[in-house]
Amino acid sequence: MKFLHTLALFLALTGPLHAQNTAFLKEPNSLVAEDDLAVRQVIARLNQALDSGDYAVYGSFFADDAVFTSGFGDATGPAGVAAALEQVRPFITNKRHVSANLVINGAGDRAVVTSYLIVFERVADLSYVGSAINIDTLEKRGGRWLVTRHDSELDPATADAMQAAMGGQ
């Protein structure tokens, strides 16, 4: 399966996004309350769209020039993001994606959100599936907050479990 080979390459080539780097915790969040809330809504709506399987809606939260990097492939722009997710639909269907511990650093029309992504199975059983750290850069364009860059790194135990599940494929 193309996805599994892409994932294996991703896991082999990527380094930690935030390994022991806590500088972002000291950066100020200077967003006005309205923009802070709008940014949080984008993150929540991304997860809701992902869980509903509506990848076109998910992609609609990305700018035309957005860069998407994750264990599910790399993509550019709304249509590219939607297509990357469509390729792995069987793997991400019936899951709940929950963002937690959001740290938002922003000013003016730019924000960076660092969050934990926790994923649960919701149909076959009630199990924890995996976790990652996400770093989303958003810009306010035309009065709307859009993701301009999404970087996701699987946590080591999640990466190990995925590699074991791939088992020689």
Distance of CA 106 to the CA centre of its chain: 18
* pLDDT at site 158: 86
Q: What confidence score (pLDDT) does residue 10 get? A: 39
All residue ranges of the chain with pLDDT < 70 are: 1-20, 166-169
In angstroms, the CA 7 to CA 3 distance is 6
User: What per-residue confidence (pLDDT) applies to 90?
Assistant: 86
According to the model, what pLDDT value does residue 71 have? Answer: 76
Closest CA to 87 of 1, 12, 27: 1
Residue-level pLDDT at 22: 86
pLDDT of residue 164: 78
| Domain parsing of the chain, residue ranges | 2-16+29-163
Which CATH architecture group holds 2-16+29-163? Roll (3.10)
